[in-house]
Amino acid sequence: MPEKLLQIEQEPPRGDWTDPTVQFRKGFFCYGGTPKSVSALGLPNPRKWQPFDPDWQLPPGWKETILTGMKERLEKYRSFRLFMDICVRCGACFDKCHFYLGSGDPKNMPALRAELLRSIYRRYFTPSGKVFGALAGGRELTEDVIKEWFYYFYQCTECRRCSVFCPYGIDTAEITMIARELLDSIGCSINWVIEPAANCFRTGNHLGIQPHAFKDSIQFAADEVKELTGITIDVPINRKGAEVLFVMPSADYFGEPHFYTLLGYLMMFHEVGLDYTVSAFASEGGNFGLFSSHELTKRLNAKIYEEAKRLGVKWILGGECGHMWRVLHQYMDTMNGPADFLEPPVSPITGTRFENARSTCAVHICEFAADLLYHNKLRVDPSRNDRCKVTFHDSCNPSRAMGLLEEPRYILRRVCRSFHEMPEDTIREKTFCCGSGAGLGTDENLETRLRGGFPRASAVKYVKETYGVNLLACICAIDKATLPTLLEYWVSGVDVAGVHELLGNALVMTGETERTTDLRGEPLPEGAGDE
Ligand code: SF4
Ligand code: SF4
């Protein structure tokens, strides 16, 4: 019941924060990686284990492995060393993390979360820590510290909200990423991250969908469009020589409500006559490697450029996904680029040059669609969305990692007649995470997810009560998978949809038969299309 979770304990615990002991309570942690997935990825120490086991069966020499791993990363990443050294404990980030706000657990304060790693850094890598130990803020690296890291670094969604408020720009998400890499190096990963990653190696996507099922799903989507509009659309798969490779998260062709977003994309591509292809090999834009290690991120991301090269396309268009865009925007160019075999993207419909994507050669679907609308290349009837009073959830990665703030709003304002923003300090760069990103969107940690999503849900509740909002639009596959549960718990009566689902509803396609329903098969509101 919401009342139970609203009882957030704000009293600081009586014990010393340096005590690493944690209790693995049901609902607060994710299950450990299975031997099958660990082995499939070639990660160390495959075994059957769970976080609540007293003995984690750490590999011989685990302490050495962690300290060597830290040393290597301190030498490799200047940002990591800087983040270890410069926190002044000013407190600006303390109340900015949704997990702290929803749980009241001080170790979910970003600065204290980082301190769990920083204290080990001090003890083993600074002269004062080596000599004075605890007096200099150092802690011994023990098995309990490893358990504490696992518990708290898997209660961080790497959302980077805290970094927006830090005067020194300390990015706790980067610290979490390093901590997770170190945990992986001794076989302490979570299954909800490594199983999708292992699936990706087997079949090209997180859900483990094989090429024939991918083809069937795409055909099913084309059939749905035909039924809805009377228009036959062709969705090319693995077509060599297409101008554009379109890559989407696998949930778009296998999940709900994601599937309606896919219909929206396909209708738009058909309407403007885009020369594109999808790929059964690069059938996943998402990248769960990002939640595990830089190495795994790179390995999973590589297939996108490889497939673009094999198919001979000019540039890449990417669908509605969150962390996919963090990787494409911030890492792909240097991890697997330069993409000198591609061309700086130019819209074949409007002639717009996407200068921002000159280097990565990857354009976000919202940039592409907003540009089409801006140049009046799409005819839309927003009255078809009149049953929706819409608000927009800025997904953490597109907003904070790539600054994609205006384009989705521009689209929504063109395709809906009732759009209302949530409070200022909960949107745009300051957006609150859904509470389930970074691989935490599983079931066993549901209480953590509901608590972490509480600030986002509270802002939705505000616009529901103030403006009657009944639909939360977003542009992330994880959001679409996890926000429905969150909202059902905290704010029932608010649905979740992709921006391109709403665009697809409003899109008036050339030659379409009279539409009677929206993409979900719900009757169009009375009077839609009358104006
Ligand atoms: S805002 Fe930055 S400097 Fe201040 S306590 Fe947080 S991490 Fe440290
Ligand atoms: S990155 Fe997000 S989840 Fe992690 S500590 Fe910062 S605000 Fe919290």
Q: Is 88 in the pocket of ligand 1 (CB under 6 A)?
A: yes
Mean pLDDT of the chain: 95
**Span 226-239, mean pLDDT?**
97
φ/ψ bin of 204: left (φ > 0), alpha (ψ from -120 to 50), beta (otherwise): left
Ligand number nearest CA of 448 is 2
| Beta-carbon-side half-sphere exposure of residue 498 (alpha carbons within 13 Å) | 33
Q: What is the pTM of this model?
A: 0.96
Is residue 349's pLDDT more than 80? yes
Start-to-end CA distance of the chain, whole Å, equals 45
The pLDDT score that the predictor gives to residue 284 is 93
**Span 350-377, mean pLDDT?**
97
Is residue 180's pLDDT more than 80? yes
pLDDT band for position 451 (cuts 50, 70, 90): very high
Is residue 531's pLDDT more than 70? no
Going from the C-alpha of 425 to that of each of 113, 237, 274, 406, the distances in angstroms are 23, 42, 38, 16
Least confident of 5-19, 171-185, 487-501: 5-19
User: How buried is 464 (Cβ within 10 angstroms: 0-12 exposed, 13-18 middle, 19+ buried)?
Assistant: buried
**Distance separating alpha carbons of residues 156 and 294, to the nearest angstrom:** 17
- Cα 163 to ligand 1 centroid, rounded to whole Å: 8
Evaluate whether 192 touches 178 at the Cβ level (below 8 Å).
no
Is residue 12's pLDDT more than 70? no
- Cα 100 to ligand 2 centroid, rounded to whole Å: 9
Closest of 35, 32, 52 to residue 43, by C-alpha: 35
Q: What share of the chain has pLDDT > 90, as a percent?
A: 93
Is residue 530's pLDDT more than 70? no
| Beta-carbon-side half-sphere exposure of residue 329 (alpha carbons within 13 Å) | 18
Residue nearest to atom 8 of ligand 1 (CA): 87
Q: Is 93 in the pocket of ligand 1 (CB under 6 A)?
A: yes
Q: Is 177 in the pocket of ligand 2 (CB under 6 A)?
A: no
Q: Burial letters for 383-412: b for 16+ Cβ neighbours within 10 Å, e otherwise?
A: bbbbbbbbbbbbbbbbbbbbebbebbbbbb
Is residue 137's pLDDT more than 90? yes
Closest of 322, 319, 264 to residue 438, by C-alpha: 322
- Cα 78 to ligand 2 centroid, rounded to whole Å: 20
**Span 17-44, mean pLDDT?**
94
pLDDT band for position 5 (cuts 50, 70, 90): confident
Residues 380-435 pLDDT 10s: 999 999 999 999 999 999 999 999 999 999 999 999 999 999 999 999 999 999 99
Q: Which is higher by pLDDT, 202 or 268?
A: 268
Query: Quick one: which atom of ligand 2 is closest to the CA of 96?
Result: 7
- Cα 148 to ligand 2 centroid, rounded to whole Å: 16
DSSP 246: E
Q: Is 158 in the pocket of ligand 2 (CB under 6 A)?
A: yes
Is residue 1's pLDDT more than 60? no
The pLDDT score that the predictor gives to residue 528 is 80
Residue nearest to atom 4 of ligand 2 (CA): 156
Is residue 182's pLDDT more than 60? yes
Residues 306-326 pLDDT 10s: 999 999 999 999 999 999 999
**Span 365-388, mean pLDDT?**
98
Ligand number nearest CA of 113 is 2
Name residue, tokens 């078809």.
Answer: 384
**Span 278-303, mean pLDDT?**
94
**Distance separating alpha carbons of residues 503 and 263, to the nearest angstrom:** 10
Using DSSP's 3-state secondary structure scheme, residue 303 falls into helix
Ligand number nearest CA of 98 is 2
pLDDT band for position 95 (cuts 50, 70, 90): very high
Query: Quick one: which atom of ligand 2 is closest to the CA of 438?
Result: 3
The pLDDT score that the predictor gives to residue 195 is 96
**Distance separating alpha carbons of residues 283 and 303, to the nearest angstrom:** 9
- Cα 118 to ligand 1 centroid, rounded to whole Å: 13
List residues bridging with 474 in a β-sheet. 498
**Span 138-167, mean pLDDT?**
97
List residues bridging with 318 in a β-sheet. 247, 364
**Span 481-509, mean pLDDT?**
97
- Cα 176 to ligand 2 centroid, rounded to whole Å: 9
Residue nearest to atom 5 of ligand 2 (CA): 110
Query: Quick one: which atom of ligand 1 is closest to the CA of 166?
Result: 1
pLDDT band for position 6 (cuts 50, 70, 90): confident
The pLDDT score that the predictor gives to residue 481 is 96
